[in-house]
Chains A and B, each alone.
Chain A
Amino acid sequence: MADEVKLTHTSALILQTIGAGYRYGFDVMEATGLPSGTVYPALRRLEQLGLIHSTWEKESKALAEQRPARKYYKLTAAGTQTLSKAVERYPLLQHMKGASS
Chain B
Amino acid sequence: MRRPEWLIRAASLLVPSERRAEWIKEWLAELHYAQEHAGEARSYAFARGAFHDAVWQQRDFWTPKRARRVAQSPGMCLATLAALPVVIALASGFLSLTRLAVKPLPYRDAGRIVLISQAGSMAERSGVPSANVTLWRDYAQTLDGIATYQWRPDAGSATVSENFFSVLAPERRAGRGFWFLSPKITRWQIGRPDKKARYGVVARLRPEVSPSEASAELSAILRKNGVQDWDSLVELTPLASRVHMVFWVFASGLGLAILIILPTLRMRMPTWNPTAAGFFLAKTGLLLVSVLLCGIEFTGASSITMLGGANGLVAVSAWLFVMGSTGALTWSIADQRQRCRVCLKRLGMAAHVGCPGCLLLDWAGTELVCVEGHGMLHVPEMAACWQDPDKWTFLDESWQELFERG
Q: CB within 8 Å of B: which residues of A?
A: 24-27, 29-30, 35-41, 44-45, 48, 67-71
Contact = CB atoms under 8 A, between A and B. Distances in A.
Interface of B, secondary structure class, is helix
Between B25, B26, B34, B56, the greatest number of chain A beta carbons within 10 A of the residue's beta carbon is seen for B26
Contact of B60 (A35, A48, A70): A48
21 contacts: A26-B30, A26-B33, A30-B37, A36-B30, A36-B46, A36-B48, A36-B50, A36-B53, A37-B49, A37-B51, A37-B53, A38-B49, A41-B53, A44-B53, A44-B57, A45-B56, A68-B25, A68-B29, A69-B25, A69-B29, A71-B26
B36 to A, nearest CB: 8
A70 B53 contact: no
B391 interface: no
**Of residues B33, B34, B37, B51, which shows the largest number of chain A Cβ atoms within 10 Å of its Cβ?**
B33
B52 interface: yes
B28 interface: yes
Contact of A36 (B25, B32, B49, B60): B49
A44 B50 contact: no
A25 B49 CA distance: 12
A37 B30 CA distance: 13
B45 interface: yes
* A-B complex: 6 closest residue pairs judged by Cβ atoms: A36-B49, A37-B52, A37-B49, A41-B56, A68-B29, A40-B53
A67 B29 CA distance: 8
Secondary structure class of chain A's binding surface, majority of residues: helix
Contacts of B30: 24-26, 36, 70
B52 A71 contact: no
A75 B49 CA distance: 24
Contacts of A48: 60
A100 B48 CA distance: 28
B187 to A, nearest CB: 57
B161 to A, nearest CB: 69
A25 B53 CA distance: 12
B52 A25 contact: no
B52 A40 contact: yes
A44 B44 CA distance: 22
A11 B349 CA distance: 44
B294 to A, nearest CB: 43
A37 B37 contact: no
Contacts of B29: 68-71
Contacts of A26: 30, 33-34, 37, 46
A67 B33 CA distance: 9
Given A36-B52, A68-B29, 15 more contacts: A26-B37, A35-B45, A36-B34, A36-B46, A40-B49, A40-B50, A40-B52, A40-B53, A41-B53, A44-B53, A45-B56, A48-B60, A69-B25, A70-B29, A71-B25
A27 B51 CA distance: 19
A51 to B, nearest CB: 16
A41 B33 CA distance: 18
A37 B28 CA distance: 15
Given A36-B53, A37-B53, A44-B53, A25 B45 contact: no
A52 to B, nearest CB: 14
Contact of B32 (A29, A35, A39, A68): A68
Interface in B50-76: 50-53, 56-57, 60
